[in-house]
Structure formats: structure tokens, C-alpha cells
Structure 1
Amino acid sequence: MTAPSNPILSEPQEKRFLVLFDFDETIIDESSDDAMIRLLPGQQLPAWMTDSFREGQYNENTQKVLTFMAEQGVSMESIHSAVKKIPPSPGLLKLLQYLQSHLHDFELVVVSDANTYFIQTWLEHANVRHLFRKIFTNAARFGAAGELALLPFHSHSCSRCPDNMCKQVILREYLADRQTERGGATFQRVFYIGDGANDVCPSLALGPRDIAFTRRDFPMHRLLVEMQRSAQFKSNIVPWVCGEDIVDSLEKIVRER
């Protein structure tokens, strides 16, 4: 894909639809953490480290892994190369090609508990960074010792989410900000594409006409289906196995003009 010189300014401001993407196991076909662990001697973490991981402390746990990698001599160049080699989820690039051809209708955002270095590196290598208006994720940068250091995205009071990120807070604040920037105009519909348990919370902010695109048989899909059965989730659920499944749904919606 070829990036326009200034994609944000060259597109109409009042797009009809907002599409939010998770990153790990949604845009890419595995956890970026797993790709990092394969760089270690033996391609696994020692038991003493995994035993120290705490539930709900994703950012803290990932930082332990990155620090250990630096101690084991894993270089910045190796990390950079490994991130670029992570495969996209099936049909994901076809979905992005479709969205690129309809940027007059769709505004794209990433909301991920990964980090800026992994996401920016992968999107730029795939030549799709220009499609996304905003990336919400944890800040990351390499220090002098070669260690990739993470910072929490924000603090919040949501009991469902890890301490460093509540995606529902991010979604609600983004919608409010964009409504102000768009002179009071709201998006006609919002679409959230994800896979994991931490994608459930933002899905709860969706309206009755919005869609949660859930990767089939992944935690987000199972949890939202259970909530829908008990009337706790009242938006639409569309499961996907490949990006073309999402394209099929979006094409029908675009034709509803």
C-alpha cells in the first residue's frame, strides 16, 4: 500500500464510521510477547520468572520479560527484526486494503495493551501506518543499556481492566473528543475488532447499532456470547476467522446509504 502525503488532512473530516483495532492476535496473528520470547536462549522463560507474574499486571509482567531479554544479550536489532516478521492475522491485509479504498467512510484507530515500539514497527513495515488516525498504547523506548522500557498508558478506576489501561475509558474519551472536533457530529456506527478478554470492556461501550467483531473461539468471542445470552450485552456480535469475514459485513453496511 502506498501512503498519501498527508492522509488525515486529505480526507473528509466527517467520516461515517469508526473502526477500532486491537493489535496482538487481531492485527497480528500471535502475541508480540511470544515473538519476543522466541529470541531467548531455549526460546522460553525460566520458571522462576513466570511464577512471579501477577494477574492483571500485564505491563509489569512484560517489562520483566524485556529486562530479562536485555540481560541475556538480546539486541535491539534482533527485537526489531522479530517484530517485522510477525505474520498478520489471516485476511487482515485484505481488510486494510478494503478500508483504504473507503477512507472517505472509515476512521481507523488502534487500541492495544502492547506498546508503541512493537506497533509502530510492524505497521510501518507492512506499509499501513498511514491508515490509522491514532494509536492508543503503552509508551516504549530503548535505554542506553539496550533494554526496551515501558510506561503505563494511564491510570483508571475500572475494576475489569489491568492497572495500566482501560480500553473503555479510551474509547469513551475518544468519541467525546472527536464529537467536539467534528462540530458535534457523531459517528453513525462504531466497530470494534478484537480477540482477547481485555477487549470485552470497551465493547460494553458500544451502542445497539454498533458491532463487536470478535475473533471466533477466542476469549472475547466466548465472553461476549455468554453476556449476550444473559442480556448483559446488547450490541451486535459478528465473529470472524479472517479479515474477509469483516469485509463482507462492512460492504453490506456501506451499501446502506
Structure 2
Amino acid sequence: MAASNGAPLVVFDFDKTIVDCDSDNWVVDALGATRRFDHLLRHLPWNHAIDAMVGELHAEGRTAEDIRACLRAAPLSPHVAAAVKAARALGCELRVLSDANAFFIDTVLAHHGLSACFSATDTNPAHIDAAGRLTIRPYHDFGSGGAGHGCALPTCPPNMCKGKVLERILLQEQEAAAAAGSSRLRRAVVYVGDGRGDYCPSLKLREGDYVMPRAGYPVCDLIAAAPPAAAVRAWADFEDLARVLLGIVNDEIARAAVTEHAVVVPADCCRTMPLPVHQEALLPQQAAVRVPN
């Protein structure tokens, strides 16, 4: 639901964007299963390999609580936590769109007191079965009769096309605005990410939206080679993420306030209104994008 003050919708990736690690690797390494996980990856897609790995850990007596304990120690910058809370307080709707999984994400957000800041999470589903075993499934079913997501972009893994998910979110935005009969300008969308899988959703954004790629990570190379329609605002570290994001939020709120109070001048009046002697062109500012996973 759009904020009345023009605050944007902000969509975050999770791994290396909210937490400063890959959460799958973090858990596997913390539980001493790195070599076995690497072996599984030779035979299975990533999403299936992490499910098989947690299954093996369960068979050895590792519990869901053991996994939670690992995740509570995952690095999350205080700058990220502060930016999330500040953006929410300013009226932004926040969502997570991630190729991690629901159990990992929910555990981390709850531990840092951030769960209530997010309206929704789109990620690979996960649950604990009756035997206490954590099970992780792909967001888009693929293989063995599964239709998959159908995206031809090679940067999208088979289990999740974030571009398809963001398209659905944007459609819901349009439908909600139409149902409300709102005449206000649509709110901007800000997408924050780092990896190859974050390139496809950046291409779904429109003029007036923003993509915030993490500098030095794969999505920056992809965006530099073929930029999206959205404005690119790169960030180098988590303090930078907070600064760039809150700058966008404040700019969008200010823009909405100006639009709200703008005076509409009839076309006929323009013919008799003198033009100012001095006029300055407003030039859009672009952040430099530099660019491993």
C-alpha cells in the first residue's frame, strides 16, 4: 500500500545486501560441512544441494536450533539495521526478494528486531517437518515435470527468477492504485542487490525507479554493460548503503510534496507570462558505477 507522503517501495536482496555473507555458505561452514557441500554441488543445483546438506546434518543429529544459532551470528551491519528502521519510519514499504530461504531470512530478521519492518518476503520456501528436519524447496519448481520460471536470461538460476517475482509485485502495485482510484503520482521502486540474479529485476524497473547495486559485485558489471531504465545509485559499503538509500527516500518524499502543492496554470495564461531572464537547467546526477562474487 502506497505511503501518502511519496515514500518509495524498497525491495532488498538478502545475502551480501542485508547480511554481509552468503547465508547458505555461512551455515555450512559454521557446522563444519564445507567439503561435503562442495561435493554435493558437483551433482546438484545449488538449491537442491543446500536442502540435501541440511538433511545430512539432521541425520547426524544437528537440529534446527543449531542452524538458528549459526544464523544469529551472521554479520549484519548496524548501518543496515538503522537504514531499514529509518526507511520504514519515513513511510517506505520494505520487502525482501532473495534466493536464500524463508527459514534463514526469518531467523536473521527476528534476531535483529527487523521482522516488523518488512511487509513481505519472496524467497525459497522452507519448513521444519514432523521429524524436526529443515526442508528447503525451490521458489519455482523445475525439473521432474516442474515448469520452471521460463526466463531466458542466463543470470537467473533455475529455481528463482527475481525478475518474474518483481513483475508480479509491480503489477500488484498498479492494480492497487487502480482500485483506489488514486490520481497521485505512483511511488518509486528502489531495488537493492549485489549478485547476478539481481540483474533481471533491475531490468523490470522503469524511469523514475532506482537500482542500488553493490559496487565491485557481479550485478555492477552487468548493469555497466547494459544499463536498465532505472537510475543507478551504487553503494560501496553498508554505511554507504544507508546514505544512498535514505537520500533517495528523502528526495522522493520531497518530490511528492512539491507535486502535491504545485499550481496548475491554464495553457492560455502561458502565452502572456514573461519568461525569467535567467534559467538554469537541472541536470540529473548519476553515481559512478565501478565493479567479483
**Could you say whether these structures have the same fold, taking a TM-score greater than 0.5 normalized by the shorter chain as the test?**
yes
Cα shift at 1:147: 2.5
**Cα gap change, 1:149/1:13 in structure 2, threshold over 3 Å: closer, same or farther?**
farther
**Cα gap change, 1:46/1:28 in structure 2, threshold over 3 Å: closer, same or farther?**
closer
Q: Distance in 1 between the 2:223 and 2:27 partners? A: 30
**Cα gap change, 1:14/1:94 in structure 2, threshold over 3 Å: closer, same or farther?**
closer
**Cα gap change, 1:148/1:112 in structure 2, threshold over 3 Å: closer, same or farther?**
same
What does 1:194-205 align with in structure 2 at a 5 Å threshold? 194-205=193-204
SS of the counterpart of 1:208? coil
**Cα gap change, 1:214/1:12 in structure 2, threshold over 3 Å: closer, same or farther?**
closer
Contiguous gaps of at least 5 residues in structure 1? 1-7
Match of 2:251 in 1: 252
Q: Distance in 1 between the 2:205 and 2:169 partners? A: 13
Contact (CA 8 Å) 2:51, 2:137: kept in 1 or not? Answer: no
Match of 1:85 in 2: 73
SS of the counterpart of 1:38? helix
Does residue 179 of the first structure (1) align with residue 197 of the second (2)?
no
> What is the identity percentage for the equivalent residue pairs of Structure 1 and Structure 2?
29
Q: Distance in 1 between the 2:24 and 2:6 partners? A: 34
Cα shift at 1:120: 1.1
SS of the counterpart of 1:45? helix
**Cα gap change, 1:14/1:139 in structure 2, threshold over 3 Å: closer, same or farther?**
farther
Residues 190-248 of structure 1 deviation map (CA, whole Å, 9 limit, x = unaligned): 110001100000100011221110111111112111213xxxx3321111122323223
Cα shift at 1:108: 1.1
Q: Distance in 2 between the 1:46 and 1:176 partners? A: 38
Q: Distance in 1 between the 2:101 and 2:38 partners? A: 25
**Cα gap change, 1:143/1:39 in structure 2, threshold over 3 Å: closer, same or farther?**
farther
**Cα gap change, 1:129/1:219 in structure 2, threshold over 3 Å: closer, same or farther?**
same
Residues 4-55 of structure 1 deviation map (CA, whole Å, 9 limit, x = unaligned): xxxx8xx9578542110111111111011112112333654365323224xx
**Cα gap change, 1:60/1:88 in structure 2, threshold over 3 Å: closer, same or farther?**
same
Match of 2:233 in 1: 238
Contiguous gaps of at least 5 residues in structure 2? 141-147, 258-293
Q: Distance in 2 between the 1:14 and 1:255 partners? A: 9
Contact (CA 8 Å) 2:7, 2:249: kept in 1 or not? Answer: no
Structure 2 counterpart of 1:85, which letter?
Answer: A
Greater alpha carbon shift after TM alignment, 87-96 vs 44-53? 44-53
Question: Which of 30, 34, 47 is the equivalent residue of 1:39?
Answer: 30
SS of the counterpart of 1:118? helix
Match of 1:147 in 2: 133
Q: Distance in 2 between the 1:165 and 1:46 partners? A: 20
TM-score (norm 1): 0.83
SS of the counterpart of 1:224? helix
Contact (CA 8 Å) 2:8, 2:249: kept in 1 or not? Answer: no
Does residue 26 of the first structure (1) align with residue 26 of the second (2)?
no
Match of 1:4 in 2: none
Does residue 63 of the first structure (1) align with residue 51 of the second (2)?
yes
Question: Which of 128, 133, 145 is the equivalent residue of 2:119?
Answer: 133
Does residue 220 of the first structure (1) align with residue 219 of the second (2)?
yes
Structure 2 counterpart of 1:88, which letter?
Answer: L
Match of 2:288 in 1: none
Counting matched residue pairs gives 239
TM-score (norm 2): 0.74
Match of 1:156 in 2: 149
Structure 2 counterpart of 1:100, which letter?
Answer: R
Q: Distance in 1 between the 2:60 and 2:6 partners? A: 48
**Cα gap change, 1:47/1:175 in structure 2, threshold over 3 Å: closer, same or farther?**
closer
Contact (CA 8 Å) 1:59, 1:152: kept in 2 or not? Answer: yes
